[in-house]
Amino acid sequence: MKMIIAVVQDKDAAKLMERLVASGQRATKLASTGGFLREGNTTFLIGSADEEVETVLRTIREVCHAREQLVTPLSPVGGPSDAYVPYPVEVTVGGATVFVLNIERFEKV
């Protein structure tokens, strides 16, 4: 058994949950916040049989796409301000960060 932890952008969360449920996967959805952009993310905890891991990963790849977004960088606190860029910068956001962990024991109570 494996535990798949997937951190996805909020824009992709509802569709991913819909696809996981439709394929018979159970997932727990947690609200989380990204460190770089300080925007909302969603973290999914998905318990999966070893042979279903690739199917779950394929679903995540199909739903969670990277996209370009304009962000205004935060001004530095206590650091040199000569490198601060005060205008919006285009960055790539989205996609998914996925961890697959071995589970020693699983119980549903």
Domain boundaries, the chain: 2-65+95-102
Q: Tell me the three state secondary structure of residue 106.
A: coil
What average pLDDT does the segment 1-8 reach?
A: 96
Mean pLDDT, rounded, for 13-37: 88
At 39-95, the pLDDT tens digits run 678 999 999 999 999 999 999 999 998 877 777 666 666 656 566 667 777 777 778
The dotted CATH code for 2-65+95-102 is 3.30.70.120
Distances (CA, A) of 43 to 12, 26, 60, 72, 99: 11, 14, 12, 25, 11
Handedness of CA 12, 59, 53, 105 (dihedral sign): positive
Q: Provide, for the chain, the percentages of residues in helix, strand and coil under a 3-state DSSP scheme, each rounded to the nearest 5.
A: 25, 40, 35
- For the question of whether the overall pTM of this predicted structure is more than 0.75, the answer is yes
Integer Cα distance of 104 and 37 in angstroms? 35
15: tokens are: 């569709």
Q: What is the pLDDT of residue 88?
A: 78
**Band of the pLDDT at 38, cuts 50, 70, 90?**
low
105 phi and psi angles, rounded to 5 deg: -150, 140
- Distance from C-alpha of 21 to C-alpha of 46, rounded to nearest angstrom: 11
Give the mean model confidence (pLDDT) for residues 2-26. Answer: 94
